[in-house]
Amino acid sequence: MTTKILLINGPNLNMLGIRKPEIYGTATLAEIEAELISYGDKKGCLVSCFQSNHEGAIIDAIHSAYGKIDGIIINPGAYTHYSYAISDAIESVMIPVVEVHLSDIHNREDFRSKSVIEPVSLCQISGHGKEGYFMALDCLLEYLNRK
């Protein structure tokens, strides 16, 4: 059975490559997604991708993953810092989640240093640029293989 991973990217991540490249890098979201899908294929898993600027749509994607997806990688964007609704959605589906951030949220503005998603995640990967997505996939696959 093929392992199925859902990549969820939150608000403004559709603007990668344009928005603050000195912080978030020059790769576009489409490039990151394509590279992660290819990387996942080499690891024997199927990666599907979803992006939304709307909290409810992200919650719906998490709920829809229940019973269909083995693991979730999420970059919640600014929702990281205050979306208890996304945190509750993650907790409710009981799917392992890895939180990822392109920039190091702990070395930026004070309001960015707290995550309400981290407590319901296996781990948080922050500050490794687009490589963080590959690290997140490796972390999830390692966890799933140990189960």
Task: Count how many residues are written for the chain.
Answer: 147
Please tell me the predicted confidence (pLDDT) of residue 74.
99
Say if pTM beats, i.e. exceeds, 0.75: yes
- Burial environment of residue 23 by CB neighbours within 10 A (0 to 12, 13 to 18, 19 or more): exposed
Return the domain boundaries, the chain. 3-146
Residue type, 96: P
Task: Report pLDDT digits (tens) over 43-67.
Answer: 999 999 999 999 999 999 999 999 9
Judge whether residue 112 has pLDDT over 80. no
Confidence of residue 130 (pLDDT cuts 50, 70, 90): very high
Please tell me the predicted confidence (pLDDT) of residue 103.
87
Segment holding 45, helix H or strand E:
strand 45-51
Of 120, 123, 101, 122, nearest to 112 (Cα)?
101
Q: Is 3.40.50.9100 the CATH number for 3-146?
A: yes
- List active site positions: 24, 101
Contact 36, 65 (CB under 8 A): no
Confidence of residue 3 (pLDDT cuts 50, 70, 90): very high
Q: Please give the C-alpha separations between residue 77 and each of 65, 99, 111, 129, in angstroms, as whole numbers.
A: 20, 10, 13, 13
Check residue 107 and report its DSSP letter.
Answer: G
Please tell me the predicted confidence (pLDDT) of residue 36.
99
Task: Report pLDDT digits (tens) over 6-42.
Answer: 999 999 999 998 888 787 778 999 999 999 999 999 9
